Chains A and B, each alone.
Chain A
Amino acid sequence: EPEVTQTPSHQVTQMGQEVILRCVPISNHLYFYWYRQILGQKVEFLVSFYNNEISEKSEIFDDQFSVERPDGSNFTLKIRSTKLEDSAMYFCASGAGFNEQFFGPGTRLTVL
């Protein structure tokens, strides 16, 4: 069964460093998403991506964040200068339409 994959599973970085979180969505999906979950809090929407561009972003997704789909299979989230409060689980999701979103296993980002 096809699934969304994410790498790395755990990323530790120093405050101020850049990180790139990688995702391989399910191959025939058209909609791609990033969510995050800070420990003990709910899953929050960051950004959606459709037709090779950002379709919507939340207020969390500020200028420090960017997304790319560089080669038709990978979908990346970049945080340019990490802050302590960026520590969270980051989930990638993909879907073929509005009635489904399949999530990856997540990347745990720890900012020291």
Chain B
Amino acid sequence: NAGVMQNPRHLVRRRGQEARLRCSPMKGHSHVYWYRQLPEEGLKFMVYLQKENIIDESGMPKERFSAEFPKEGPSILRIQQVVRGDSAAYFCASSPRTGEDTQYFGPGTRLTVL
């Protein structure tokens, strides 16, 4: 049973470009969460999605950031017009059901904005 998959593992973008981060949850998991981690800091919640629905995006910046989890395919976190402050590790996690206290994390995508 493969774990949570994320790609790419490392992504370098210049200011103003777009970044697309992908996440495939564990098999049988329909709940996906995205977290951001700045160096030497804890993980900060960004968005919680179920298939085709955004349940909670309270942690996501209002501009330039968007997320989706289509019926088929991985969840995508999209950052438009990246700025240096977007440089961070972005982790995806999944769980099989709501009300679940255990989340399973992917290896993360390390975004560097030049």
A and B held together in a complex: no
Residues of B within 8 A of A (CB): none
Residues of A within 8 A of B (CB): none
